[in-house]
């Protein structure tokens, strides 16, 4: 039975569309929280899993990234899309001094410098213009950390607990999808 | 448990809970994008037992989460169900926060301060351009005396 006026209160009808606080939750490039989060170092891979066999693919703060270890043992992180024509470097080949795209053989070092453009005369006379976007990395506590820029920055979080430890266990897992 | 801005957690053993035990694990919750994240952890432990306890000791109705029936998921709903069912991003406009949500409000306020600091050109909390001493973290299992609770 309805009230005398015939209007029920507190029902679900006619409510405004629910919204979330984007300043608190959205982390892509250029967003307020995304810019704040990029001031910090974030772990992006487990060091022991990063071999110079095949590249790793990951997604951090809305950016698709490739993490790899070159033949000299240096860790690097670059955009997944090759600066040449956009092929995924996930299918690239790791070499002694960098990672080579599977399509036209452009090779980048751990700082994104283009070392060679395999199909161009002399390995590409203007290859220095073909730089692959990259990020600085630092390995600590068995993890690979990344930040937006190594300039004007503090070091990776310094934990007495982890610095003093001889026996450490590291790992990672992805969040479950919501049910 | 202790939270360090922006996304780190210092965690003691939550399976074998002993008073006075300190945290032995640092966890990072790294956003992949707006609706998913990846956990990274580094743990100080003598052997793999602590690791196994950390990753798989919590069971509902004696089962691993993925083995529960639909009705068991309803009757033994844990953190993942409570948090995941809020949606990919919770609807802040529909919330009714009360006094027991003080911790949530504190964290949100600190995160918003972090955003405001960066927008104003300041360094946000825990970012420092000079290398100070290692950061001391107070985290562990503590027992409050009855007097302290009063």
Q: Count Cβ atoms below 10 Å from residue B6 Cβ, excluding itself.
A: 23
Taking only Cα atoms into account, the Rg of chain A, rounded to an integer number of angstroms, comes to 23
CB proximity under 8 Å: A 110-139 to B: none
The total number of structural domains in chain B stands at: 1
Tokens of A88: 């995924």
Phi-psi region at B114: left, alpha or beta (left = phi > 0; alpha = psi -120 to 50): alpha
Q: Which of B29, B16, B17 is nearest to B111 (CA)?
A: B29
What are the chain A neighbours of B34 within 8 Å (beta carbons)? 25-28, 62
Range of the domain at B84: 2-149
Q: Do A171 and B40 touch (CB under 8 A)?
A: yes
Best-predicted range by mean pLDDT among B4-13, B44-53, B108-117?
B108-117
Per-residue pLDDT of B14-38, as tens digits, reads: 777 888 788 888 899 999 999 999 9
pTM: 0.87
Distance CA A9, CA A25 (A): 32
DSSP string, A7-48: --SS-STTPPPP---HHHH--STTSHHHHHHTTS-EEEEEGG
Q: How far B145 CA lies from chain A's nearest CA (Å)?
A: 27
Burial class (CB in 10 A: 0-12, 13-18, 19+), A52: middle
Q: Which of A63, A73, A70 is nearest to A108 (CA)?
A: A70
3-state SS, one letter per residue, for B34-94: CCCEEEEEEEECCCHHHHHHHHHCCCECCECHHHCCHHHHHHCCCHHHHHHCCCCCCCHHH
Q: How far B20 CA lies from chain A's nearest CA (Å)?
A: 16
Supply the ipTM of this predicted assembly.
Answer: 0.86
Per-residue pLDDT of B91-133, as tens digits, reads: 999 999 999 999 999 999 999 999 999 999 988 887 766 666 6
What are the chain A neighbours of B53 within 8 Å (beta carbons)? none
Residue B42: half-sphere exposure toward Cβ, Cα within 13 Å: 28
Domains of chain A: 54-150 (2.102.10.10)
How much is the average pLDDT of A65-81?
Answer: 96
Residue A149 at interface with chain B, using a CB cutoff of 8 Å: no
Nearest to A28 among B34, B38, B48 (CB): B34
Q: Do A152 and B108 touch (CB under 8 A)?
A: no
Per-residue pLDDT of A163-176, as tens digits, reads: 666 677 888 887 75
């Amino acid at each position: 039975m309805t009230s005398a006026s015939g209007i029920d209160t507190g029902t679900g009808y006619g409510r405004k569309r629910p919204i979330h606080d984007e300043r608190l939750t959205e982390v892509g490039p250029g967003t307020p929280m995304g810019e704040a989060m990029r001031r910090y170092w974030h772990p992006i891979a487990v060091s022991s899993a990063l071999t110079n066999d095949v590249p790793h693919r990951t997604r951090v703060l809305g950016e698709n990234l490739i993490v790899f270890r070159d033949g000299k043992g240096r860790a690097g992180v670059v955009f997944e899309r090759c600066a040449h024509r956009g092929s995924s470097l996930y299918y690239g080949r790791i070499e002694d001094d960098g990672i080579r795209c599977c399509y036209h053989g452009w090779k980048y070092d751990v700082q994104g410098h283009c070392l060679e453009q395999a199909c161009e005369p002399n390995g590409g006379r203007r290859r220095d213009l073909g730089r692959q976007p990259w990020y600085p990395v630092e390995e600590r506590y068995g993890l690979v950390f990344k930040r937006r820029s190594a300039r004007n920055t503090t070091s990776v979080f310094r934990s007495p607990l982890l610095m003093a430890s001889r026996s450490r266990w590291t790992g990672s897992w992805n969040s479950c999808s919501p049910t | 448990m202790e939270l360090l801005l922006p996304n780190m957690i210092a965690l003691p053993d939550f399976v074998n809970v002993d008073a006075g035990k300190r945290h032995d694990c640092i966890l990072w919750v790294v956003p992949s994008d707006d609706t998913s994240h990846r956990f990274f952890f580094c743990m100080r432990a003598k052997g793999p037992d602590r690791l196994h306890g950390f990753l798989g000791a919590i069971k509902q109705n004696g089962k691993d989460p993925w083995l529960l029936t639909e009705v068991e998921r309803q009757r033994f709903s844990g953190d993942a169900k409570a948090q995941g069912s809020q949606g990919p991003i919770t609807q802040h406009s529909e919330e009714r926060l009360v006094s027991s949500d003080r911790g949530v409000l504190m964290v949100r306020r600190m995160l918003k301060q972090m955003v405001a600091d960066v927008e104003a050109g300041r360094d946000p909390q825990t970012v420092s351009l000079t290398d100070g001493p290692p950061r001391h973290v107070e985290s562990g299992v503590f027992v409050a005396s009855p007097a302290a609770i009063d």
